[in-house]
Structure 1
């Protein structure tokens, strides 16, 4: 268990950060002139990009691998999308001051795919550079 936490602790902390930041009352922040339309979607994309990179890096570190298999890639993507969906369901049913939005889940999925793409490109580049 300790080895798992050692590898995945950045992803676990980031998941808690996502849960907090996506479920706190923001007041009138969304109407502030400092934020442009669609800023919320950009934040969702960035949060889940980072989450995917941290989780995938933890998986590679924990399993001492240099790359992800297709099955592992798909499972990580599905897990991350499910996490994003859970955040939206929490916003809809428990944190009623926030609104669930399918566009937020789509932005999450875009960030997840971008993060997975970056992990795949980086891990393949490292793998082939070491040959």
Structure 2
């Protein structure tokens, strides 16, 4: 089961990088019409990132793994934002995007924790 989650987590991680580093005009189709939809998308990306990596890596110490995955998600989000600023011509690093990433990951960790409490 962990191998399936690992594959999904890797694909999700690559998907985040690609969608955050390609030219924005690639995604100009207005499928979602929300104010601040990019922040919602960032939150969703990192919610998925956190859940998938947690499921792929958790074995016994669930509390430590939640913390490790949360830290990894925050660092990955910051790294992607820095890459946008350093390596793309039409994208820029945005602190509020990094904050949205962190919020998405924090929500995921909270949901994972709540589910573990309900299962007990």
Q: Which bin holds the TM-score, normalised by the shorter protein?
A: 0.7 to 0.9
Q: Superposition pairs for residues 25-104 of structure 1, below 5 Å?
A: 25-27=23-25, 29=28, 35-60=33-58, 63=59, 65=60, 68-69=62-63, 71-104=64-97
- Alignment deviations for residues 110-130 of structure 1 (CA, whole Å, 9 cap, x no partner): 00000111111112322x1xx
* TM-score normalised according to structure 2 size: 0.86
Q: Offset of 1:29 from its aligned partner? A: 2.1
Q: Distance in 1 between matches of 2:116 and 2:11?
A: 23
- Segments of 5+ residues of structure 1 without an aligned counterpart are none
Q: Distance in 2 between matches of 1:112 and 1:36?
A: 21
Q: Offset of 1:17 from its aligned partner? A: 0.5
Alpha carbons 2:2, 2:55 under 8 Å: kept? no
Aligned-residue RMSD, C-alpha:
2.3
Larger radius of gyration: 1
1:113 matched to 2:106: yes
Which of the numbers 113, 122, 127 marks the counterpart of 2:115? 122
Q: Distance in 2 between matches of 1:50 and 1:11?
A: 8
Which of the numbers 21, 44, 48 marks the counterpart of 1:23? 21
